Amino acid sequence: MRRIAITGMGGICALGHNATDIWRAMAEGRSGIGPVRRFDTSSLRTEPIAAEIKDFEPRAHIDEARLPFLDPLSQYALVAAEEAIGQSGLDFRNERAARTAVVIGVGVAGEETREGLYRKLYGEQNGRFHPLGIVRIMGNAPPSQISMVHGITGPTFTVASACASSNHAFAQAALMIRAGWVDAAVVGGTEACLTLGLMHAWEAMRVLAPDTCRPFSANRRGLVLGEGAAMFVLETLEGAQARGATILAELAGVGMSADAGDIAAPSDIGAAAAMRAALQDGGMHPEQIDYINAHGTGTVANDCTETRAIHHVFGEHARQLVVTSTKPMHGHALGAAGALEMLAVIGALREGIVPPTLNYLGPDPACDLDYAPHAARVMPVHAALSNSFAFGGLNAVLAVRQVS
State the distance between the two ends of the chain, measured CA to CA, in whole angstroms.
Answer: 16
Say whether pTM exceeds 0.95.
yes
**111-132 confidence digits (pLDDT tens):** 999 999 999 999 999 988 889 9
Closest CA to 366 of 284, 311, 404, 320: 311
Please tell me whether residue 274 adopts helix, strand or coil conformation: helix
Residue type, 305: T
Taking 90 as the threshold, does the pLDDT of residue 242 lie above it? yes
> CATH 3.40.47.10 in the chain, residues?
4-242, 253-401
**166-223 confidence digits (pLDDT tens):** 999 999 999 999 999 999 999 999 999 999 999 999 999 999 999 999 999 999 999 9
The rounded distance, in Å, linking the Cα atoms of 298 and 202 is: 14
* Residue 236's pLDDT band (cuts 50, 70, 90): very high
Please tell me whether residue 186 adopts helix, strand or coil conformation: strand
* Residue 1's pLDDT band (cuts 50, 70, 90): confident
The CATH class for the domain spanning 4-242 reads alpha beta
> For position 109, what pLDDT does the model report?
96
* CA-CA-CA-CA torsion sign (121, 123, 125, 130): negative
Asked whether the beta carbons of 265 and 301 are under 8 A apart, the reply is yes
CA 360 to chain centre: 22
Please tell me whether residue 312 adopts helix, strand or coil conformation: helix
Q: Give domain 253-401's CATH architecture.
A: 3-Layer(aba) Sandwich (3.40)
* Residue 404's pLDDT band (cuts 50, 70, 90): confident
Q: Annotated catalytic sites, by residue?
A: 163, 295, 332
Q: In what order do the strands lie in the sheet with 100-106?
A: 156-159, 100-106, 184-191, 228-236, 4-13, 249-258, 394-401, 383-390, 291-293, 322-324
Distances from the Cα of 45 to the Cαs of 118, 276, 284, in angstroms? 22, 41, 48
CA within 13 Å, CB half, 117: 16
pLDDT, averaged across the chain: 97
> For position 362, what pLDDT does the model report?
97
> For position 130, what pLDDT does the model report?
86
* Residue 243's pLDDT band (cuts 50, 70, 90): very high
**322-381 confidence digits (pLDDT tens):** 999 999 999 999 999 999 999 999 999 999 999 999 999 999 999 999 999 999 999 999
